[in-house]
């Protein structure tokens, strides 16, 4: 589920790729972290852009899942889904962060790829 980039990214690119994933789970920043990194670096670094785009798409997927869970609270399963989504988000972001630190592009398994 991860890809090797076409070139070896430098340390600045690696740091930005890591931040594009890890900032997504920081309260108060959320989806804005990967969005800003993507918009600023999309034309400068393919490695950073791919990581930020993947992170951004995954966070959009997580928001949609939370909205669906909010609706399902009416039949009580939504409470359980909130917890599952939160744990899944945390675990997959950590995995993606580790892959980015290894100069790899991680493809989230459950991801609506809206931004291409």
Q: What is the overall mean pLDDT for the chain?
A: 89
Query: Taking 90 as the threshold, does the pLDDT of residue 67 lie above it?
Result: yes
Query: Taking 90 as the threshold, does the pLDDT of residue 90 lie above it?
Result: yes
Q: What is the predicted pLDDT for the residue at 5?
A: 60
Question: Of all residues in the chain, what percent are helix, strand and coil, respectively (each to 5)?
Answer: 70, 5, 30
Query: Taking 90 as the threshold, does the pLDDT of residue 53 lie above it?
Result: yes
Position 94 confidence tier, pLDDT thresholds 50, 70, 90: very high
Greatest alpha-carbon span in the chain: 50
Taken in order 44, 56, 95, 20, is the CA torsion positive or negative?
A: positive
Q: What is the predicted pLDDT for the residue at 2?
A: 66
Tally Cβ neighbours within 10 Å of residue 13.
22
């Amino acid at each position: 589920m991860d890809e090797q980039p076409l070139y070896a990214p430098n340390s600045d690119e690696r740091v930005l790729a890591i931040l594009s994933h890890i900032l997504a789970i920081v309260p108060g920043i959320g989806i804005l972290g990967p969005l800003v990194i993507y918009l600023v670096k999309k034309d400068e670094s393919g490695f950073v852009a791919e990581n930020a785009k993947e992170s951004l798409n995954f966070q959009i997927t997580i928001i949609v899942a939370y909205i669906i869970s909010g609706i399902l609270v009416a039949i009580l399963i939504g409470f359980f889904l909130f917890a599952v989504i939160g744990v899944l988000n945390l675990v997959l972001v950590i995995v993606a962060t580790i892959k980015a630190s290894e100069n790899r592009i991680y493809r989230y398994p459950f991801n609506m790829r809206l931004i291409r």
